[in-house]
Amino acid sequence: MSLSLQSGGTSSRALPHPSTSSGLAAPSEATTRPITTGTSVLGVKYNGGVMLAADTLCSYGSLAKYKNARRLLPVNSRTLVGASGEYSDLQSISDLLRRNALEDRCTADSLYEEETQSEECAKEVWSYLRAVMYNRRNKMNPLWNDVVVAGFKQNADGTTSDEPFLGVVDKIGTAYEDDILATGFGGYIALPLLREKYS
């Protein structure tokens, strides 16, 4: 066996062609377990808004590998996403949401931002991510993240509502809304304390 570089920049061991000696299948390209991970994301609804908080550390096992990793990402002017779990999968989710936002802008009725109401509200992004995570889980290739979506809901006429939205989607597609959310280790430590003090 030899080491080779595959398209897309990933390296893996090159196995012999399946028809040659042993009949082995091609190597799996799914993430089998998280390697470079970020931990807790906290979300809190308050009167007239919603807030997310996360640290910027990504760990490689017990090594603090990246000390300035952004895990809170804006989707559009209405929505903010934060995730714990595998950092490369968060980057994939970010790319996917950016592509969707660009497609929405390109297919809008107007070229001018002030005339378009096509931005997805936070609840639509949350619902879309639920479907993506569930689909990837069913393909046995999950995105190893718990994603918190925060922002504002949308009125029936397409304008932004003043009602805040806070929801979470986990790696298997389970999704729920709440006034206080936490992912990662913060779900065990911070969430009980926040619920006790929240009023």
Identify residue 19 by its one-letter amino acid code.
Answer: S
Bridge partners of 5, per DSSP, are: 11
Is there a contact between 154 and 198 (Cβ–Cβ < 8 Å)?
A: no
pLDDT at 18: 45
Token pair recorded at residue 129: 């991510």
Predicted local confidence at residue 10, as pLDDT? 43
Catalytic residue among 10, 20, 31, 174: 31
- Mean of per-residue pLDDT scores for the chain: 83
Say whether pLDDT at 83 is over 60: yes
Q: Give the highest mean pLDDT range of 59-68, 108-117, 170-179.
A: 170-179
Confidence of residue 117 (pLDDT cuts 50, 70, 90): low
Instruction: Spell out the long-range contacts of 110-119 with Cβ–Cβ below 8 A and sequence spacing 24 or more.
Output: 117/158, 117/159, 119/76, 119/77, 119/78, 119/79
Interatomic CA distance for residues 119 and 132, integer angstroms: 19
The predicted model gives 126-133 an average pLDDT of 96
pLDDT tens sequence across 135-172: 999 999 999 999 999 999 988 887 888 899 999 999 99
pLDDT at 22 over 90: no
pTM of the model: 0.80
Is 31 an active-site residue? Answer: yes
Per-residue pLDDT at 12 exceeds 90 = no
User: DSSP letters along 53-119, please?
Assistant: EE---EEETTEEEESS---EEEEETTEEEEEEEEHHHHHHHHHHHHHHHHHHHHTSS-SSGGG---P
